[in-house]
Structure 1
Amino acid sequence: MTEDEFDLLDELYFVQPYDYLQETLNWSEDRLLDTLDSLYRKAFIKCLSAPDDELFGAINILENGKEMLFLATKKGLMAHNAL
């Protein structure tokens, strides 16, 4: 797990929208979207369209991530806490 992935997972113990993550971490758009995409491909986060509406199927975070909400998965939390 990279340092960026670890720092981002710190913010995802609760459902958070993209805008909150951008404001809190103060990262570039590319850095945030790339890190979200990396965590998603590892199944460390899930994507939601609303607080209780998880998205399934093909998800393109690089194109649509700004409209999504994110939450760490159990696998992501376990990996985060193991470090």
Structure 2
Amino acid sequence: MTENEFDVLDELYFVQSFGYLKETLDLEVSAILEALNSLYHNGLIKCLKTPDEECFNQVDILKEGKGLYFLATKKGLMAHNTI
């Protein structure tokens, strides 16, 4: 897990919007999207359309990520806590 991925995952213990991540993290938008994309494809986070509506179809985070919400999965929480 990269440092950027770790930092993003650190913010996803609760549902957070992309806007929140952009405001909170000292990272470029592209770096946040790349970290989210990697975390998503490794099953460490899940994507939500709204804070209560999970996306069950495959999501293209690089294209759609700015309008989504994110939450760490159990696997993601375990990976984050073992580093």
- TM band (smaller chain): over 0.9
Q: Name segments (4+ residues, structure 1) moved above 2 Å.
A: none
Q: CA deviation at 1:26?
A: 2.8
One-letter amino acid matched to 2:49 = S
Task: Report the Cα distance in structure 1 between the residues aligned to 2:7 and 2:26, rounded to whole angstroms.
Answer: 12
Name the structure 1 match of 2:14. 14
TM-score, scaled relative to structure 2? 0.96
Identity %: 58
One-letter amino acid matched to 2:28 = S
Task: Report the Cα distance in structure 2 between the residues aligned to 1:47 and 1:25, rounded to whole angstroms.
Answer: 18
Name the structure 2 match of 1:61. 61
Task: Report the Cα distance in structure 2 between the residues aligned to 1:26 and 1:6, rounded to whole angstroms.
Answer: 13
Name the structure 1 match of 2:30. 30
State the number of aligned residues: 83
* Residue 49 (structure 2) pairs with residue 49 (structure 1): yes
One-letter amino acid matched to 1:38 = S
Secondary structure of 2:48's counterpart equals strand
Q: Please give the per-residue CA displacement for 1:30-57, whole angstroms capped at 9, x wherever unaligned.
A: 1010000000000000000111100011
Segments of 5+ residues of structure 2 without an aligned counterpart are none
TM-score, scaled relative to structure 1? 0.96
Q: Please give the per-residue CA displacement for 1:14-73, whole angstroms capped at 9, x wherever unaligned.
A: 000000000000311110100000000000000001111000112100000000000000
Q: Which moved more, 1:22-31 or 1:35-44?
A: 22-31
Secondary structure of 1:71's counterpart equals strand
Task: Report the Cα distance in structure 2 between the residues aligned to 1:17 and 1:75, rounded to whole angstroms.
Answer: 20
